Amino acid sequence: MQNFKNYTDYMTSPLGVIKIKASKYGITGIEFTSQKKLPSLGCRLTEQCIVELAEYFAGRRKIFNLPLDHKGTDFQNSVWSALQDIIFSETISYGVVASMAGKPAAVRAAGTALKKNPIAIIVPCHRVIGKNGTLTGYSGGLERKSWLLAHEAYYENQLSLGNN
């Protein structure tokens, strides 16, 4: 690995360009960007992330196997950790996330932590919906959230039908 503190790489996805950031300890950020693919200073970890994201978009990956390097408060980290327990193609409410993070009354704080999630898709905040089943807030935009949920539902259905 190179001797730089932070690494950045880009990939083109069905939802546009994704910027991937990593430290020597793990992935620190995955975000949708309006930038064109820029020259990158990637590493083995960002390259593996691109491979796993490509597999996800192709419907061949449901679980990611990448080390993550979150930078947040204890509560944010507990929310982000709870998100990783949401099963592929399933959705839960903000209240359930707050409970999973150990603070059932902290629904708004859980929503704020979701908004600050720096690692899109792998830390699947797109799987959190309003308690009445509506799509609410997503830093990548509701169109992307809707697409991700439909994508996962489609591939979950394909797997259960034995078509994959």
Enumerate residues 6+ apart whose C-beta is below 8 A from 140: 15, 31, 32, 120, 126
Residue 32: CA atoms inside 13 Å, Cβ hemisphere, count?
Answer: 16
Nearest residue to 79 (alpha-carbon basis) of 43, 41, 124? 124
Catalytic residue, candidates 82, 122, 125, 148: 125
Q: How far apart are CA 33 and CA 141, in angstroms?
A: 11
H runs (alpha helix) in the chain: 44-57, 74-83, 94-100, 107-115, 142-160
| Six token digits for residue 142 | 């509701």
- The question of whether 43 is a catalytic residue gets the answer no
DSSP three-state, residue 16: strand
| Residues that are catalytic | 125
